[in-house]
Amino acid sequence: MFKLMTGVDMLHVPFKGGGPAMIDVLGGHTKAVFATTITALPHVRSGKLRALGVGGRERRAVLAEVPTIAEAGVPGYEAVNWIGIVAPAGTPAPIVARLHDEISTILGSPEVEKEFAAEGVEIMRMNSAEFGGFMVSEMDKWGRVVKEGGIKAE
């Protein structure tokens, strides 16, 4: 998406996860990495990496001095990692509601909020319908990137 939105010619180097990609950047073998906050934050804090931008719509509290990529000159750019919890289709509504309530309670606990915040993780609170819509919009966005970028499965 960055390449498509900026016209920058850069080579995508596929790694088997964020860890190996981070090792290559820290070792000077790769010049840049699009990494998660959790993966990059310790190295930014230690001074081994310089954060150039964050992919969300808003700055991260743990990297308040780092602009969003949109602020840095790529208007409309948003690329974030997210994790959601899903259940099989046909799961009874009362079970879905109970899972949602229990998970929301856990995510709302001060201990969990504190740990997540320290790692740069932001909790996005959504009900099932909102999360379903969010997943569809993400699939649409990344589907366009795959199509427009000519990305093929290897």
Give the amino acid at 133.
G
If you average pLDDT over residues 130-154, what whole number do you get? Answer: 93
Tens digit of pLDDT for each residue in 13-39?
A: 889 999 999 999 999 999 999 999 889
Report how far apart, in Å, the C-alpha atoms of 127 and of each of 79, 89, 108, 115 are.
21, 16, 14, 23
Q: Is the pTM of this model over 0.85?
A: no
Q: Which domains does the chain have, with CATH numbers?
A: 1-81 (3.40.190.10), 82-154 (no CATH)
Amino acid 122: pLDDT: 86
The answer, yes or no, to whether residue 154 has pLDDT greater than 80, is no
Per-residue pLDDT tens digits for 49-91: 999 999 999 998 899 999 999 999 999 999 999 999 999 999 9
